[in-house]
Structure 1
Amino acid sequence: MSSTIYTPLVLCIYILAFVTGVPSNLLACYTFLVKVRQKPSPVGLFLLNLTISDLLLLFVLPFKMVEAVSGMTWPMPLFLCPIVTWVYFCSIYISILFLTAVSIERYLGVAYPMKYKVIRKTVYAVWICGFIWGFSALHGSVSFIVITVLPSNESQDGRCYQRFTAGQKKLLMPFRLEGSLLMFFIPFMITIFCYFNFVRLLLSMPKIRRKKKYRAICLAVATLFNFTLCFVPYNISHIVGFIQDKSSHWRVYALLLTTLNASIDPIIFYYSSTAVQKTFLKCLQGLKKKLCMQDNHEVHVELSKTSDTRTTYNNETSV
């Protein structure tokens, strides 16, 4: 794919993710925040943090849009480059780990309902959230070090995190491989195991309502589809890059798929939380009510104008 096609493609994906992801994630964030305040639960905390992670990625997308418009060069102040890069890549792995945490929580609640109910405490979920954020931020700081600390002898041509020296590659390529194995492939295998057994156990329970079983299957399929589509190509590029000792030319396209994760996550929220469904329906009903009121107001104005016109005409005729 040529550079003339690549830049418009990048911009279109960023705009699509931003336009669809921001309102849906803000709606989900508000819903989970209210739910956690009223009745805290591990799943609610995990989904709330997952939403915040997606919003962080979406909030740095305008910087990436400006970069795409500028022909994949960095026209903004240089100090923003490592910050945007750090937030962008950290949010990817934070989302992966929280999706995995949700799958583990769902599986344990079905496989060991009585035993897990005894040891299940919200404070443990708070510690897990803190660990995920801290570990991911620390792990992602390597990209910050590569940009700001290690010297670069190659001309960057105003580009951000795209060209690397031999010294930078010596640190970056093993780091990417380790990140893909530790923070994606292991969580991916755990998620597959949890959701496969989650669905299998639910289907074997005759007392569970059919609607609930359907939701569980949709949840598992949506999560695994999200993992496969958004994260597998990107993390495979790290393995290929380590073998070839360079960034694969198709890595940039695989990275675009990870951006779409912020738009796909709300689908998982919708299937996994009745609170999100109710909030979404309330918003639709409120929007529909406003539109109906606006239409009625416009009709009333038109009728008033018509009435005034008829009155004026009658007055003129009588004169």
Structure 2
Amino acid sequence: MNKENESVSLNRSLMEMDLFSNLEDIDVTADGSPILRFLICLVYSVVCAAGLVGNLLVLFFIRVKKERRKSRVNFFVLNLAVTDLQFVLTLPFWAVDTALDFSWPFGDAMCKIILSVTVMNMYASVFFLTAMSVTRYWSVASSLKNRTVRKSCSAKWMCAIIWTLATLATTPTSIFSTVSNVTGEKLCLLRFPGGQYWLAVYHIQKIIVGFVLPMSIVSISYMMLLRIIRNRSMKTSNPKRRSQVTKSITIVVLSFFMCWMPNHAITLWSVLVKLNAANWDQAYYVVHTYVFPLTVCLAHTNSCLNPIIYCLMRKEFRNKL
């Protein structure tokens, strides 16, 4: 009996490996599990609702109350809220796609638009978080005063550069996203003419530009900021201020890392498989099919955490609320 079970398991693995070899130039995570699809749809719905409320509140406080004129960081927060708001507006489309077992019902044009908007706002959100960390450090380190006009112009130019970089990083997605017929289902995905090699290159770009470099810059900026705060606290005997800043920075860095690291870790595993640097096996199939969609949900929650971390935790915004 055990030998029969082992034979069935082996045959199933061989069939899955054969399916993977036929689909080596695309990423397919559909498995038809209703529980998994329900969980993903539920997370998307909660993130969409929380993200809409949180980011609209941020836009109201900064745009209507004219808070953006008082701080360059607030100007970045305004743009961050805009990009996160655009991002959460794509979630209903992905929820429907998930509910239909990853079968895309909206056509090829909407596939390109929604996938491009999703990726572009992912890059823009990460870039704005990085710019905010550098700005916070630079503001404290330089101790600039009475340069409001110059700060405003610099912030506008930096935002323009960030949106341009995010658009350029999204170019491959806009070009190669399409609706493909896979095993009888229409899926919205990326399909490169060069096969798995260029898909691996695309994922490497996403990992480096969308996570490794920003995470490194954010970590270095905040560590240097903590060093300045610590030195000033020792001179002014203000340990409470140092504790508050340390707590705030720890939350920012950990939330960014915890939301994005699992998704990029599995993506890196996928890259190694595509480049034949790692073997495709049952463990990879299980992780890619069942765990990877959950890491995507976790990454998406960053869009509803951002307004909480960067605005609603700040005293001036809580007082206005």
TM-score, L = length of structure 1: 0.77
* Aligned ranges 1:123-272 → 2 under 5 Å: 123-148=153-178, 157-161=185-189, 164=191, 167-206=194-233, 207=236, 212-245=241-274, 248-249=288-289, 250-270=291-311
Offset from partner CA, 1:42-73 (integer Å, 9 cap, x none): 21111111111110111111111211222221
Secondary structure of the residue that 2:186 maps to in structure 1?
Answer: coil
Gaps of 5+ in 1: 281-319
Alpha carbons of structure 1 residues 154 and 15: separation in structure 2 relative to 1, 3 Å: closer
Structure 2 residue identity aligned to 1:159: L
Q: Give the match for residue 33 of structure 2.
A: 3
CA 1:214/1:29 → structure 2, altered by over 3 Å: closer, same or farther? farther
Residue-pair matches, total: 277
Q: Percentage identity across aligned positions?
A: 25
Report matched runs for 1:297-312 at 5 Å.
none
Q: CA offset at residue 153 of structure 1?
A: 8.1
Matched residue, 1:284: none
**Alignment partners' CA distance in 2, 1:156 and 1:143:** 23
Deviation at 1:263, TM superposition (A): 1.5
**Inter-partner Cα distance in structure 2 for 1:36 and 1:93:** 26
Aligned equivalents of 1:271, 1:24: Cα separation in 2: 8
Which of the pair has more CA radius of gyration?
Answer: 1
Q: Is the 8 A contact 2:68 2:75 kept in 1?
A: no
Following TM superposition, by how much is the alpha carbon of 1:252 offset from its aligned partner in structure 2, in angstroms?
Answer: 2.4
The reply to whether residue 278 of structure 1 matches residue 319 of structure 2 is: yes
The 5-angstrom pairing of residues 55-94 of structure 1 reads 55-94=85-124
Match of 2:151 in 1: 121
What TM-score comes out, normalization by structure 2 length? 0.77
Structure 2 vs 1, CA of residues 38 and 267 (structure 1 numbering), >3 Å: closer, same or farther?
A: closer
Query: Does the 8 Å contact 2:58/2:81 carry over to 1?
Result: yes
Aligned residue number for residue 11 of structure 2:
none
71, 74, 81: which is aligned to 1:44?
A: 74
Q: CA deviation at 1:9?
A: 1.5
Task: Report the CA distance shift for 1:16/1:100 in structure 2 as closer, same or farther (over 3 A).
Answer: same
User: Is the Cα contact below 8 Å between 1:53 and 1:91 reproduced in 2?
Assistant: yes
Deviation readout 1:29-53 (Å, 9 max, x if unpaired): 1112245566253211111111111
Question: Quick one: distance in 1 between partners of 2:67 and 2:320?
Answer: 16
Residue identity matched to 1:17: V
CA distances 1:59-112 after superposition (whole Å, capped 9, x unpaired):
111111211222221122331111111111211121111111111111112223
Q: CA RMSD in A?
A: 2.9
Distance 1:30 1:115 in 2: 27
Q: What are the superposed Cα offsets for residues 128-175 of structure 1, whole Å, 9 maximum, x if unpaired?
A: 111111111121121121124xx968556111117x477343322102
Q: Which residue of 2 aligns with 1:26?
A: 56
What is the distance in 2 between the residues matched to 1:116 and 1:97?
A: 27
Runs of 5+ in structure 2 lacking a partner?
A: 1-30, 276-283
Residue deviations 1:107-133, cap 9 Å, x none? 112223249969962211111111111
